[in-house]
Structure 1
C-alpha cells in the first residue's frame, strides 16, 4: 500500500520569529518513504535539520514577517495491516528493564504518574500484568474521557484530564501514559499520522494524532487510548515523554496560525482536503508550543 501523507501550516507573523518544527516522518520509517519528506517553506528559508535526544528529526529556521507557510508532502509504503496485537507480551520487572527505558517510567510535565499512582493501583492493580493490564488502562481512559475539539487546552495535564473527563487525543494519551508509568510499565508518548483507511465514513478532517507505545516482552507496542482499536496506516513522526517533548511547532515569539491541514490518503486518492481557516483565538504568549492533535 502507498500512502500520500503531509501537512501544511500557514502563519501571519508580525515580525521574524525563530521556530523549531517536528513535521518529518520518524527516522525509523524513513526507509519506507519513496523520497525524502523534505520541509517546504514559502517563502523559502534555510532549514537546519538535527536530531533531538530521542532521535526525532527537528527543523530549525527563522520565519520571516508576513505570510509564511511550512509543510511536507511525501509517499510512504505501508503493509496495509492494522496495528499488531501481542496479548502474550509480558511486563518486565523494573530491575530487568533496559536502561534506556527507565526515563519512560518517570513523571513528566503532562504525565504526573506520581500523583496518579494510588489511583492507578486501585483501578488496575488486580489485573494481570502485561498486555491485559495495558489494555484495561486504554479501555478505562477511552470510556472516561469525552472527546471534543472544543475541549482542547494546551495546559491540561493527565491529572486534569482524569478530574475533568474531557479532552482531545493528547489528553487521552497523557492519562494512559501516566497510569502505565505508575504501574511500572515504560511508556512513551507518540505523535504522527493515523489514516482513516478502512474506517466508516464520513471521515473527519485530517489532523495529527497522539498515541503511546509501551515496553512489554522486550519491545515497544502501539496502544491508542483515543481510538482504542487497531488502525491501518499509522506513521510516527516523533516520540518523547509527553507532548512537551514533541510539539509540531515551537515558536520563540507570537504564534499566529491561520491555516492548517493534514492528509494521509491512499496514493490513488488524489483529492486533498481544503485548507481550513482557523477561528480567532487569544494570541499565544512567546515560547508556547503548538499541538493540534485529535
Structure 2
C-alpha cells in the first residue's frame, strides 16, 4: 500500500483529465513504460492532435494502441463514444459515452465525465494497491467502462499496461478468455461464475481474486471484492462499494431501507456514477441515489449478494403476491 498511498503527494493538484496524469508521469519518470512499447512521453505524443477536434469522436477499435490515443485526442476538446452508432443528444466535452442496452430494446449511452472515471479509478488503484512495480494485462472490449476503469487506475498509479499476459502481476479479464496465472500474478479479476471463483481459490489460494458488480452506470465496477475480507467471500458475494460510493437496499415500492439480509433493489450514490443517459430518457441527479434495477441484499459486513442470481425486481412483486394469497 505504501507506494500507492504516497501517490497523492506526488501527483499534480489537477488530476481531472487523463492527459494531466500522462503528462505527470512523462515528466516524473522519463522512459518509464506506459502502454506496450510506448513510454509515457511516446503515449503523449501519440495522443497529440493538430488543430480542432470534433465535438464527438467515435472509437470502434479494440486495439489499445489505437483506442487509447484516439480517446485521448477526442477528449482534448470534445466527447468520445465507443460505438459506430451516434448517440442521441449533445454530449459535453470531456465525456466518455459507453453503449448500454436498456430494457432489451434500443441501445442507449451512459454519459461518464472523465473526472468521474478518474475518481473511481483512484479508488480501485488504492483498493488493490496498484503500483509502478506492477504490470497489468487487460483483456476486455474498449466499449466496456470496466476496461477503462482498470486502464485509468493503471495510468493513475503509473502501472505499465502490458499487451502480453506473461509476467503480469495484475490480470483484468472481462471477455471470458482464459486467465494465464503464474508465480508473479497477485490480483485476478474475472467475470465468471461463483463456481469458477471457488475453484480458482482452491487452486491459487495466494491470489487476490476480484468479483464485483458490472454496471455501466457506475464506471463498470462500483462494487467489488475487498482484499481485507476472507477469501471465500469472493465466490459468495460481490464485495463492497469502492471508496466514494454508497450502497443502499430499498423496497422499490416505498423507498424505505431494507434490513440486512432482506432483499430489495440496489441503489447507489457517489462521485463515480454517470451523469445520465445520452438520450435523456431517465433523469439522474448526482446528489440522489440511483436505482439500478438489480435485486440483492447486504450481509452483516456490508457485502452485496445478488438474490437467487436474479437481476430484476419481478421476484419482489412475486413475493408480495404470494403473501397476499396466503393472507
TM-score (norm 2): 0.24
Larger proportion of strand: 1
TM-score (norm 1): 0.26
Larger proportion of helix: 2
Structure with the greater alpha carbon radius of gyration:
2
